[in-house]
Structures are given as C-alpha cells and as structure tokens.
C-alpha cells in the first residue's frame, strides 16, 4: 500500500496542472480536465514511474507528454517572465483599477490545482524574482498589489496552490495585498512589522 501511494505521488508530480491522478484497483486513472477525457494506466506502469530504470521512466514520461498529460517544466519561471508579468499587471491595475483586475483573475489564473503542494524553494525563488524586478523598476517601485497579483497568477498558472489576500489596518488606515503559498508571502504580509487583517482572500477564481 505504501509503495502504491509513493508511486502515485511520483506520478502526480509529473502531470500537467490540468490533470489529476486517482488510484484504481488495477492501476491509476488520469483525469485530463483540459481535454475532458480520462486515461488509464496499468499498475505495473505506475510503479515503473517511481521505481523503474531511467530508460523505463523516460519511455513512460515520453508517452505522457505525447498524450498532453505531462510537461517539461512546472516550476514558476522566475526571471524575465516575472518581470514582464509584473509590469503588465501594474499597468493594468493603473488603467483598469485593482478591483477590476481581481475580477479578471479568472482569465489568467486557472481554477484547477495540482495534487502535490508547492515547495518552499519554488516560492522563495519566485519571491526573490518578483522583489528584484519590482524594486528595480521605476514603473512598479515596490507596489504590493502588482507583486501580489503577479505572484498569484504565476503560481496558479503552474497549478500550484496560492491564496491572494487583501488586508487593512486601522491606525493609521492602510491597505496591503500579498499572496501566500507554501508558508511564504509575496510580498511580506507584515511590511515594516505592521500587521494587516485580511478582508478578502482569493484561492482560485470565483472563491
């Protein structure tokens, strides 16, 4: 039973964000929500993904990629792409308003999520990239709303769990936005030591 659980966990890490794997009595069932289809995998093949030789694993991973169920990369891209998204989000917020941008998240951030949790290392790399681009851009200049929305979108587009918070403090009154994932916040939830009480939290579109 433990070996089967380990094999399914290894398989889940390989799948694209729009695919979910469910254990079956004779193997596993892959639900591909993007294409609205279901694919079966024999128990022996599932175990090969976790315990097989490099050649066996490569063959199975290749088959999953050919079927559109696995991608070459699932980690948030944290360099130039983060900077492009950050500047684009900032301009959108300035022209359309923060409230409208939050309502548009359904278009940019999918509602599905991977079964495996994001790692702290992945989120830390994204946080550093967003911070670097934000502080280094005269346009963005450390805007928390732009940083939070950018981080949320990039994480969700990889199928990783993330929650976007909008909080307030009373004395003196101020608002702050941040995205939380894997125990880390982008940007920090309490800048300069000031705590903010969340008044709005979005974990996926419509919720």
- Tell me the C-alpha to C-alpha distance, in Å, between residue 122 and each of 10, 56, 170, 196: 18, 28, 34, 25
Residues in a beta bridge with 202: 164
Task: Please report the pLDDT score of residue 114 as a whole number.
Answer: 64
Task: Please report the pLDDT score of residue 104 as a whole number.
Answer: 87
> How confident is the chain (207 residues) per 10-residue block, as mean pLDDT?
64 77 86 84 82 79 82 59 90 94 82 70 90 86 93 87 93 92 93 89 69
pLDDT tens-digit series, residues 47-68: 887 777 878 877 888 888 888 8
Which residue reads 């967003």 in tokens?
130
CB atoms within 10 A of CB 136: 11
Sign of CA dihedral 50, 115, 155, 34: positive
Task: Please report the pLDDT score of residue 184 as a whole number.
Answer: 95
Task: Please report the pLDDT score of residue 115 as a whole number.
Answer: 59
Non-local CB neighbours of 63 within 8 Å, separated by 6+ positions: none
Task: Please report the pLDDT score of residue 1 as a whole number.
Answer: 44
Domain boundaries, the chain: 2-66, 80-202
Report the chain's C-alpha Rg in angstroms. 19
Beta strand 163-169 with 37-42 is unpaired
């Amino acid at each position: 039973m433990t070996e089967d659980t380990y094999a399914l966990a290894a398989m889940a890490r390989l799948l694209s964000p729009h695919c979910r794997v469910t254990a079956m009595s004779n193997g596993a069932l892959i639900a591909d929500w993007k294409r609205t289809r279901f694919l079966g995998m024999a128990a022996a093949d599932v175990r090969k993904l976790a315990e097989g030789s490099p050649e066996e694993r490569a063959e199975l991973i290749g088959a999953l990629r050919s079927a559109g169920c696995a991608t070459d990369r699932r980690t948030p891209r944290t360099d130039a792409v983060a900077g492009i998204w950050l500047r684009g989000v900032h301009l959108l917020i300035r022209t359309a308003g923060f409230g409208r941008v939050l309502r548009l998240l359904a278009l940019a951030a999918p509602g599905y999520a991977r079964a495996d949790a994001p790692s702290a290392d992945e989120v830390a790399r994204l946080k550093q990239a967003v911070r670097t681009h934000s502080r280094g851009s005269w346009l963005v200049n450390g805007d928390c709303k732009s940083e939070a929305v950018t981080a949320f979108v990039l994480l969700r587009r990889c199928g990783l769990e993330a929650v976007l918070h909008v909080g307030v403090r009373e004395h003196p009154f101020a608002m702050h936005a941040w995205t939380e994932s894997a125990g880390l916040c982008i940007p920090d939830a309490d800048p300069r030591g000031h705590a903010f009480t969340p008044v709005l939290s979005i974990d996926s579109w419509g919720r």
